[in-house]
Structure 1
Amino acid sequence: MRLSEVEFRGYKRLVEAECNVLGKVIALVGPNESGKSSVLQGLQWLTDTPRHLRIQEQNRDAPPESETLVVRARYKLDEDDIEALNQLDLDVEPAITAKTVTEFRLSRRADGTTVTGITTEVQRSTHIFKAANAQIASVMALLEHSESLPDDERIGPVENVLRVGSALLNPSDPDWTDDRLENLAGTLDSVDTMWRNIEGIEDAPEDFAALREQLVTLSRLIGDSINAGRLGEPADAMRDALQQRVPKFVLFTDDDRNIAETYPLGDEALRAEAPPPLRNLLYVAGTTVAEVWGYLDRGDTAQLRTFEKRINRTLQARLQPMWSQSQLTVNIVLNTDGMLEVNIEELDSPELTITPIGERSDGLRAFLALVCFLIAAELSIPPVLMIDEAERNLHYDAQADLVRVLTSELKVHKVLYTTHSPGCLPLDLGTGIRVVVRDTEFPGRSKLSNNFWIRNDPGFSNLLFAMGAEAAAFSAFRRAVLAEGVSDMILLPTLLRNATNTETLDFQVAFGLSSMSASKAIGSVALITTFLVDGDDSGNEKRQQLIAAGVPTSHVFQLPEGKALEDLVDRATYLSVVDGFLQELGHSLDQDRLQSDCTIAKAVDTYAKSVLGIDGGVSHKIIAARLAELGPKLQLTAEGKRFLKKLSAQLVSAFESPYLLQPEVSGKV
């Protein structure tokens, strides 16, 4: 399943706040004291051991009632979830598919009660109940056309039993209570008694044999109905099964962050309350502080070295697979004076270099602490990793390293983190930023926003405003592509990743080129900025302006002639997403009525306005977000894939070539 949305109703400042969290890595940004940390803490409470909401966790102005669903997480189901549901012992209609079971919800009330929900069309199958009722009708018809059967007391009260059974087998009644099942079992006993009574009647008319055969069939159908009724409500069974598959929210705290270079285990106070990073590291090594101290305290050097070798071998086996770019492991040294040393060993170095962890980069140390934290959590399902102030104690380069680690090197369901630093933002800005903003009407409340482009300012100024950061802090930031619109910023990273079969990009995409002058665009985004314009006349004009302002042609790129970014997406995929959006609005898409002499996005807009009467057309931003949500499954046109692969290589080359502006001079030869 995929975590898709989070909601808060009365948790600290979050009285009525929700946002989607569809990206793989989500950064929560906003001014100080806006409630960013509260988002993480509330989600941690959601999947922790159940407990009531403490007074200090409730909003002061609008405290939630005990039955209020204070925190809720929504999940979209994937193929594995559907397969797991199909393994349940259920008799349902329609079949369990990705279309009939679409969402799972996990909530917690203020009193600590966990509540689950599911969006599904699946119900208990009624075919067996209908078949049993049809059989009752057949028996009643036989009785109606027979002169001897209804009056023969030797059989029993057939008609009364059948009327009761028909009511109990009502297919439109979904509630199979214990009383209902017990009463139906009584009906079954009566039916069995009646057909056995017929067997004992000598010289019975032919009608009796026919009735016996019908009652035997009815007995079997009632028995099957009882078994079906005992299976339990399908929605309840599916909710229980899906709850077991929910990824836990785990919060990586300040106490978990820093693995020290040395630990004096001779210090009794340290052993009594060992720092979490040390406990986590030793857990990964398959040992504990107490066991390590036991070997140190005994003073048997041979045993100590054997033990040391064993724990280091365990560390290597468990940590080495976590490094995607380097062959590294942790090497623990146990000194006889009680000092435990933590080193990094380079397995791919010819010299097998070992260095104290304190001499390695902050980013590497943060990653190691994260990995140990996650392994020590002992979670069979990859969790949602949460980090408050991810940039803490990390310089700019280390922040960039951490972002790359969070994006591609951790085996987690999703990453949610807060940050104040522009240097610690996700690489995919269009899908990876959520803003926590103070409510202007209620000072004690905050809201969550799915986007940071609520103001009209182009480039990164919207984001800086949302973060409360100084623009100057961002002017010396990473590499960036400045595209024309918001939808380009959202969609381009996914298209480039899919075209090149890569998981991450080493640059970011901003928007606003369509509404920003060339001179302003050049200096307001990053140290090395490249530009991408559409393939229309406006794009031609913007390209010429940038070149005239001094940007090298090697840093200005243009989409294929007559194309916008959406035209690089497989047409059927694009229109399917649009149709899904329109159906939510009560409309549908007639592809035959789309214009063919313009971009696909403009054709859809024109159709929505002129045919469906949607004044604002179809939001390009919403469609782009839904396309990006498809991730690797988003199909490209053949032309689009070729162009994007070439563009990716050109961008890599351009980012290796910083430039100084060399404006064209009119009249100069």
Structure 2
Amino acid sequence: MKLIKAEVGKFRSINTDQVVDIDPAVTAFVGMNEAGKTVFLKALHKSLDAMGAEKFKTVDDYPRKDYTGYMKRHAAEPDVATKLTYQLDENEAKELNKLLHVQLKSGFVFSIQHKYNNIKTILLQVDEASAIAQLATTVGISSDAISTVRKAATLREAAEKLGEIERTDIDTAFLTTLQARIKKTDWTNVVQYELWRELDKRIPKFLYFSDYDLLPGKLNLADLAQKVQAAKDDPDNADTHIKPKHKAVLALLRMADVEPTDFTGTTGYEEMKAKIEAVSISLTDQVLEFWKQNEDLEVEVDIKEDIKDESPFNNGPNLYLRIKNRRHRGVSTPFDQRSRGFIWFFSFLVWFDSVQDHLAAPGTEAPSNLILLLDEPGLALHALAQGDFLKYIDTLAEQHQVLYTTHSPFMVHSDRLHQVRMVEDKEKIGTVISANLSGSDERTIFPLQAALGWTVAQNLFIGKRNILVEGPSELTYLQVMSALVEAGGGEGLRQDATIVPVGGLGNVVTFVSLLGANGLKLAILHDYSGSTDQRLDDLIRQKILAQKSVFNVSQYRDIEKLGQNTVATDIEDLFDPAMYIDYFNITYSKQLNGLVLKVSDLPKGDRIVNRIERWLDSKAVKVRPSGGFNHYAVAAKFGATPPKTIAVDVQKRFVALFESLNKAI
């Protein structure tokens, strides 16, 4: 059974009904701080708290601006706080059809309204006709009884009519059984009630976890036992005695099957320590399965007294939670001195395991009919650790629906935007929740834009072997020349090589620094100014980049000196000058207005691009307003209409270049 829709009425910052479609696996609520994300989760939590502790309270939950007016009608007409709609899967429908002799279709839907007086209304429709038809097939009843049952429209009518006819002993026993079914409910539709009783067992309950439910580094167990007893003696004010940190430790103890009173009773130290350590080992294994930031951690739980500590820690045994780091020779530190992200992640694992164990019937597995409500999960985690936690959420979603709030771009799957709901606090309206991304405030959708930008940046590297070049001109020339070289029988670039233009040599350095450590094979090809680039030299010296992975085009200009730095060179200088000038003339024929550039017209120099720009200046010709010419426009013309043949020297240069790049990656 899945929650497919949640409608929240007036509740705290929600002033108008918000109808939200819920994803069958994961739903992410994205919005700014104070937008109302937590409010929505708390409304669901109070509707059906798995632990039975949460209820709607008008003074806490009803919007204050309408509170006085509402309280005048609350007793007689309580508002609907939430309306939750559920859907059965095919197997559940078949099971209930067989059990109750109804005809539920796959995808059967029903709803429950939860009101502010904490009474619920069931919105459920089912026909009794199939159940009546099944009754008429009961073995042994008389033909008169069969006829009477078949004529009835409802079970109540069938019982009433059977009471009026002459019956056999079997008929009377049959009627008694039917009347017993009817007496169990005052619902008009008896089968509808029976169906509800079965559905009620299967409805998933909500578990809510937030940043307040974190484990402390130590807690006095005698003090905890007193607070637990005080909460039992004063259940209406239990929250004033048991704070979130106490609940977190109780969850840890519950996992170990230990009660706080055990520490002041006859239970031996070794027995309790053994139970606690067993839980420690289990938690360590779980943490390391998903915590990839440091896999050398161990969880340590200890129980001991310290009469020199401050009150209440000087009264009886304390529970100490520590983390040992094998990376630093087993040095351990108090749990609450670890990173905030680790504390959150570990506390969540303890809480979730404990709750599942608490809800499971003796001898049974943990219940799967739970919906997890995670409020800002992993907010203190490193960006990559948030990615790890997203994987953990997917693992949880295999058994439970997960609803979580976030404003972090790293806590959103950019390829699953159908799971995202935008949450905004609109002036004079209050909290608004929508799946409409395009209609949302730009500040609200910023995490999605950032997530998409990160994905795009990552996907620039679509293969394991990548050649970083300065711009799109290099991309075009390398792709076209690779094809021409191969057509001439030479070696072109590897088919699995990805050419990545990064927008200048400065960006090449940035890309390598940020992404070169991701296990990718990188080669760099750049233009040569006449001297090596200091930034690239620094990366090589710091061993971030290997010298054998860096190439400049001057090393392939002089066929007699392949692999050696020569003169200042752009990739265009690897071509025959006459051929490149032909493409320049074709590209800018309109702007040149009949003027044709020849090789002999060029001023002296090493770089043909610079020589053409100087010629344009000397002729006072502007082929573009900003001066010079667009190098990529010439490259694009070359790519659109590549030459049918290439000079032997040009072929040799590019063959040597491709061999070097292929070897490097």
**TM-score in terms of structure 2 length:** 0.54
Counterpart residue type for residue 3 of structure 2: L
**For residue 506 of structure 2, what is the aligned residue in structure 1?**
none
| 1:275 matched to 2:246 | yes
**For residue 201 of structure 2, what is the aligned residue in structure 1?**
244
Larger radius of gyration: 2
Q: Identify if the C-alpha distance between structure 1 residues 333 and 131 changes in structure 2 by more than 3 Å, giving closer, same or farther.
A: closer
Q: Identify if the C-alpha distance between structure 1 residues 357 and 34 changes in structure 2 by more than 3 Å, giving closer, same or farther.
A: closer
For residues 126 and 525 of structure 2, the distance between their equivalents in structure 1, rounded to whole angstroms, comes to 59
1:423 to partner: Cα distance: 2.8
**For residue 469 of structure 2, what is the aligned residue in structure 1?**
none
**For residue 366 of structure 1, what is the aligned residue in structure 2?**
344
For residues 203 and 423 of structure 2, the distance between their equivalents in structure 1, rounded to whole angstroms, comes to 25
**For residue 171 of structure 1, what is the aligned residue in structure 2?**
151
For residues 20 and 423 of structure 1, the distance between their equivalents in structure 2, rounded to whole angstroms, comes to 23
**For residue 33 of structure 1, what is the aligned residue in structure 2?**
34
Q: How many positions carry a matched residue from both structures?
A: 437
1:234 to partner: Cα distance: 2.5
For residues 334 and 84 of structure 2, the distance between their equivalents in structure 1, rounded to whole angstroms, comes to 42
For residues 180 and 223 of structure 2, the distance between their equivalents in structure 1, rounded to whole angstroms, comes to 61
**For residue 632 of structure 1, what is the aligned residue in structure 2?**
none
Alpha carbons 1:25, 1:414 under 8 Å: kept: yes
- Deviations 1:260-297, CA, capped at 9 Å, x for gaps: 333355778997756322222122122133433558xx
Correspondences of 1:638-653 after superposition (within 5 Å) = none
**For residue 301 of structure 2, what is the aligned residue in structure 1?**
332
2:422 alignment partner, one of 419, 423, 435 = 435
Correspondences of 1:535-546 after superposition (within 5 Å) = none
Out of 116-125 and 66-75, give the one that drifted further.
Answer: 116-125
Counterpart residue type for residue 33 of structure 1: E
Q: Identify if the C-alpha distance between structure 1 residues 341 and 174 changes in structure 2 by more than 3 Å, giving closer, same or farther.
A: same
| 1:102 matched to 2:108 | yes
Correspondences of 1:465-480 after superposition (within 5 Å) = 465-467=443-445, 474=450, 479-480=454-455
**For residue 287 of structure 1, what is the aligned residue in structure 2?**
258
**For residue 307 of structure 1, what is the aligned residue in structure 2?**
272
**For residue 514 of structure 1, what is the aligned residue in structure 2?**
none
Correspondences of 1:470-509 after superposition (within 5 Å) = 474=450, 479-481=454-456
For residues 410 and 125 of structure 2, the distance between their equivalents in structure 1, rounded to whole angstroms, comes to 40
Name the Cα RMSD after superposition: 4.9
For residues 186 and 253 of structure 1, the distance between their equivalents in structure 2, rounded to whole angstroms, comes to 62
Secondary structure of the equivalent of 1:11?
A: coil
Counterpart residue type for residue 292 of structure 1: F
Q: Identify if the C-alpha distance between structure 1 residues 316 and 428 changes in structure 2 by more than 3 Å, giving closer, same or farther.
A: farther
1:25 to partner: Cα distance: 2.4
**For residue 10 of structure 2, what is the aligned residue in structure 1?**
10
Q: Identify if the C-alpha distance between structure 1 residues 660 and 17 changes in structure 2 by more than 3 Å, giving closer, same or farther.
A: farther
For residues 350 and 37 of structure 1, the distance between their equivalents in structure 2, rounded to whole angstroms, comes to 39
**For residue 452 of structure 1, what is the aligned residue in structure 2?**
437
For residues 549 and 238 of structure 1, the distance between their equivalents in structure 2, rounded to whole angstroms, comes to 71
For residues 315 and 16 of structure 1, the distance between their equivalents in structure 2, rounded to whole angstroms, comes to 45
Q: Identify if the C-alpha distance between structure 1 residues 240 and 293 changes in structure 2 by more than 3 Å, giving closer, same or farther.
A: same
| 1:72 matched to 2:72 | no
Alpha carbons 1:185, 1:226 under 8 Å: kept: no
1:42 to partner: Cα distance: 0.5
Secondary structure of the equivalent of 1:256?
A: coil
Alpha carbons 2:28, 2:405 under 8 Å: kept: yes
Q: Identify if the C-alpha distance between structure 1 residues 325 and 55 changes in structure 2 by more than 3 Å, giving closer, same or farther.
A: closer
For residues 397 and 339 of structure 2, the distance between their equivalents in structure 1, rounded to whole angstroms, comes to 18
**For residue 44 of structure 1, what is the aligned residue in structure 2?**
45
Q: Identify if the C-alpha distance between structure 1 residues 27 and 52 changes in structure 2 by more than 3 Å, giving closer, same or farther.
A: closer
Q: Identify if the C-alpha distance between structure 1 residues 554 and 104 changes in structure 2 by more than 3 Å, giving closer, same or farther.
A: farther
For residues 402 and 470 of structure 1, the distance between their equivalents in structure 2, rounded to whole angstroms, comes to 17
Q: Identify if the C-alpha distance between structure 1 residues 372 and 8 changes in structure 2 by more than 3 Å, giving closer, same or farther.
A: same
Alpha carbons 1:363, 1:401 under 8 Å: kept: no
| 1:415 matched to 2:426 | no
How many percent of aligned residue pairs carry the same amino acid? 19
- Deviations 1:73-105, CA, capped at 9 Å, x for gaps: 2222124523542463x333x4x5x53x61232
Q: Identify if the C-alpha distance between structure 1 residues 343 and 653 changes in structure 2 by more than 3 Å, giving closer, same or farther.
A: closer
Structure 1: unaligned runs, 5 residues or longer: 140-161, 193-218, 456-461, 482-525, 533-543, 557-650
1:241 to partner: Cα distance: 0.9
**For residue 647 of structure 1, what is the aligned residue in structure 2?**
none
**For residue 491 of structure 2, what is the aligned residue in structure 1?**
none
Alpha carbons 1:9, 1:70 under 8 Å: kept: yes
1:320 to partner: Cα distance: 4.1
2:210 alignment partner, one of 253, 276, 280 = 253
Alpha carbons 1:27, 1:419 under 8 Å: kept: yes
Correspondences of 1:109-258 after superposition (within 5 Å) = 109-118=115-124, 123-127=129-133, 169=149, 171=151, 173-174=153-154, 176=156, 181=159, 184-187=162-165, 190-192=166-168, 227=177, 231=181, 233-257=190-214
Secondary structure of the equivalent of 1:115?
A: strand
Structure 2: unaligned runs, 5 residues or longer: 183-189, 229-241, 307-316, 361-366, 464-471, 480-495, 501-514, 527-629, 636-649, 651-665
Out of 119-128 and 33-42, give the one that drifted further.
Answer: 119-128
For residues 231 and 131 of structure 1, the distance between their equivalents in structure 2, rounded to whole angstroms, comes to 17
| 1:554 matched to 2:498 | yes
Counterpart residue type for residue 2 of structure 2: R
**For residue 586 of structure 1, what is the aligned residue in structure 2?**
none
Counterpart residue type for residue 262 of structure 2: E
Secondary structure of the equivalent of 2:300?
A: strand
Alpha carbons 1:322, 1:409 under 8 Å: kept: no
For residues 269 and 415 of structure 2, the distance between their equivalents in structure 1, rounded to whole angstroms, comes to 48
Alpha carbons 1:76, 1:104 under 8 Å: kept: yes
- Deviations 1:15-45, CA, capped at 9 Å, x for gaps: 2111111152222122343321111111011
Secondary structure of the equivalent of 2:257?
A: coil
Alpha carbons 2:9, 2:17 under 8 Å: kept: yes
For residues 657 and 292 of structure 1, the distance between their equivalents in structure 2, rounded to whole angstroms, comes to 58
Q: Identify if the C-alpha distance between structure 1 residues 379 and 221 changes in structure 2 by more than 3 Å, giving closer, same or farther.
A: same
Q: Identify if the C-alpha distance between structure 1 residues 278 and 225 changes in structure 2 by more than 3 Å, giving closer, same or farther.
A: closer
Alpha carbons 1:102, 1:120 under 8 Å: kept: no
Q: Identify if the C-alpha distance between structure 1 residues 131 and 527 changes in structure 2 by more than 3 Å, giving closer, same or farther.
A: closer
Q: Identify if the C-alpha distance between structure 1 residues 547 and 314 changes in structure 2 by more than 3 Å, giving closer, same or farther.
A: same
1:107 to partner: Cα distance: 2.4
Alpha carbons 1:29, 1:418 under 8 Å: kept: yes
Counterpart residue type for residue 320 of structure 2: E
Secondary structure of the equivalent of 2:359?
A: coil
Secondary structure of the equivalent of 2:198?
A: helix
Alpha carbons 2:301, 2:322 under 8 Å: kept: yes
For residues 438 and 525 of structure 2, the distance between their equivalents in structure 1, rounded to whole angstroms, comes to 28
**For residue 567 of structure 1, what is the aligned residue in structure 2?**
none
Secondary structure of the equivalent of 2:34?
A: coil
1:342 to partner: Cα distance: 1.6
- Deviations 1:598-636, CA, capped at 9 Å, x for gaps: xxxxxxxxxxxxxxxxxxxxxxxxxxxxxxxxxxxxxxx
1:263 alignment partner, one of 216, 219, 222 = 219
For residues 550 and 248 of structure 1, the distance between their equivalents in structure 2, rounded to whole angstroms, comes to 60
For residues 403 and 413 of structure 2, the distance between their equivalents in structure 1, rounded to whole angstroms, comes to 10
1:324 to partner: Cα distance: 3.6
**For residue 584 of structure 1, what is the aligned residue in structure 2?**
none
1:85 alignment partner, one of 78, 96, 111 = 96
1:46 to partner: Cα distance: 0.6
